[in-house]
Structure 1
Amino acid sequence: MFKDIPSTSVSDALQGKNHMSYEIKPIGDFHLSGPAFTVEIDEGENISVLEAMYKAKPGDVLVVDGKGWTENAVAGDFILNLGKTLGLAGIVIDGVIRDIKGSLALDYPIFCKGTTTCASKKTQKGLIGVPIVCGGVTVNPGDYIVGDSDGVVVVPHSEASSIREQALEKISVDEKRENSVGQDVDAARKYIEDFLIKVEKNIVL
């Protein structure tokens, strides 16, 4: 539903809501979209990450509430490649990974807080297919995840069609503005002047 739609346009349609922490960024240059398959784990665990990969459907985005833990990796390149092999659209982790060189070589959408050298723990199972919090945002199973170099946003499933249409309209408006103003000095000055007048009249605030 959100294929190739920038996260910024989706964010605008959501009126700036539901964006994950700026710390969760892609490992590489990717656009990610798809329905969320959620998993909540204890800090540094990954038993339930593997179970979630097994149960998720191709095209799902695995979204992991790793509690923001940065001491242990939630996954390394081998486990991340399992997700790719099983057809998951990508993985979003509120935590860190390891084996960065191998993970980059996968050419696969992985979004996380960074990397560490320390392996995951395997002593405690988590919860699968439940509402979670990832990057400060509530994610329900089936919500749409949209991510790229600017970050990750979460679109509630019930609002997906409306948000998609608003995002596409925003793209159209932005393209028309760029075409009419972007390369014309006089038009650019006029645009700024009109904007400042609106600010003074409290029209755009």
Structure 2
Amino acid sequence: MDNHVQEFKKLPTTCISDAMDGLNNLDPSIKPLKEDYKLAGRAFTVKIPVGDNLAVLKAIRNAKSGDILVVDAKGNQYRAIAGDFVVGMMQTIGIGGLVVDGVIRDIVGIKELDFPVFSKGTTVAASGKAGVGEINVPISCGGMPIHPGDIIVGDADGVVVIPQSSEQEVLAKALEKLTKDQEREAKISGNQDAIFKHLDHLLGK
């Protein structure tokens, strides 16, 4: 895992989002299957038509260890792009997580794998394998443009994407935001007078 990815993995998505003025968040309907899931890695992008997941299998075959599979499934919630067997293959070969603008199935089995999956939910219907789709191309996922190699970070609050062109700048701003938040918490936590003073400041009094 490269240094920037390691650093971003230590940060909450809320700080990263604030560092980018809330402009690079995936749709909030894309959530982790478990609240304790956390992922961070480079995007390996997948573009599929509704109801066909062969390109997902191709991506599993070509992705590097630590990559995050980011799947543009057009937001479709009828047919699953993967079940527990396919997700198990991702885990076994070292993929860092799955983010999909769509749904999965076999939720109980996937949760037992303890592999970070972020999706719009679950369904019962499988996808076909006609073979249409592309990998490692620019995509849209959750309303955000994502390019291969962008950094993807996800936790209980959602998923953010950090473009490669600005990752150093975003990292610096996110670290600064985290430090300020921690200092503020230490200053006012449990201190009623400090809380009222802080509220007055925010309210312009």
Normalised to the residue count of structure 1, the TM-score between the two structures is 0.95
Cα distance, 1:4 vs. partner? 2.0
The 8 Å contact of residues 47 and 126 in structure 1, kept in 2 or not, is answered as yes
Whether 2:176 is the aligned partner of 1:175: answer no
Cα distance, 1:123 vs. partner? 1.5
CA distance in 1 between partners of 2:76 and 2:197 (Å): 49
Cα distance, 1:120 vs. partner? 1.3
Instruction: Specify which structure has the higher proportion of strand.
Output: 1
Q: Which amino acid counterpart does residue 54 of structure 1 have in structure 2?
A: R
Q: Which amino acid counterpart does residue 28 of structure 2 have in structure 1?
A: Y
1:24 corresponds to which of 12, 30, 38: 30
Cα distance, 1:3 vs. partner? 1.5
CA distance in 1 between partners of 2:149 and 2:44 (Å): 7
Which residue does 2:70 correspond to in 1? 63
Matches for 1:92-131 after TM superposition, within 5 Å: 92-131=99-138
| TM superposition outliers: structure 1 runs of 4+ over 4 Å | none
Q: Which amino acid counterpart does residue 166 of structure 1 have in structure 2?
A: K
Cα distance, 1:79 vs. partner? 0.1
The 8 Å contact of residues 34 and 60 in structure 1, kept in 2 or not, is answered as yes
Cα distance, 1:58 vs. partner? 0.3
The 8 Å contact of residues 42 and 124 in structure 1, kept in 2 or not, is answered as no
Which residue does 2:164 correspond to in 1? 157
Whether 2:198 is the aligned partner of 1:191: answer yes
Cα distance, 1:122 vs. partner? 1.2
Whether 2:17 is the aligned partner of 1:11: answer yes
Normalised to the residue count of structure 2, the TM-score between the two structures is 0.95
Consecutive unaligned residues of structure 2, counting only runs of 5 or more, are none
Cα distance, 1:151 vs. partner? 0.4
Q: Which amino acid counterpart does residue 61 of structure 2 have in structure 1?
A: Y
Identity of matched residues, %: 49
Cα distance, 1:125 vs. partner? 2.1
C-alpha deviations, 1:142-170, integer Å up to 9, x for none?
00001101000110011111111111111
SS in 2 for 1:63: strand
Cα distance, 1:124 vs. partner? 3.3
Which residue does 1:81 correspond to in 2? 88
Q: Which amino acid counterpart does residue 52 of structure 1 have in structure 2?
A: A
Q: Which amino acid counterpart does residue 186 of structure 2 have in structure 1?
A: N
The 8 Å contact of residues 59 and 87 in structure 1, kept in 2 or not, is answered as yes
CA distance in 2 between partners of 1:180 and 1:145 (Å): 32
Whether 2:177 is the aligned partner of 1:166: answer no
Which residue does 1:201 correspond to in 2? none
SS in 1 for 2:64: coil
Cα distance, 1:31 vs. partner? 1.2
The 8 Å contact of residues 34 and 59 in structure 1, kept in 2 or not, is answered as yes
The 8 Å contact of residues 31 and 148 in structure 1, kept in 2 or not, is answered as yes
Cα distance, 1:183 vs. partner? 1.2
CA RMSD of aligned residues (A): 0.9
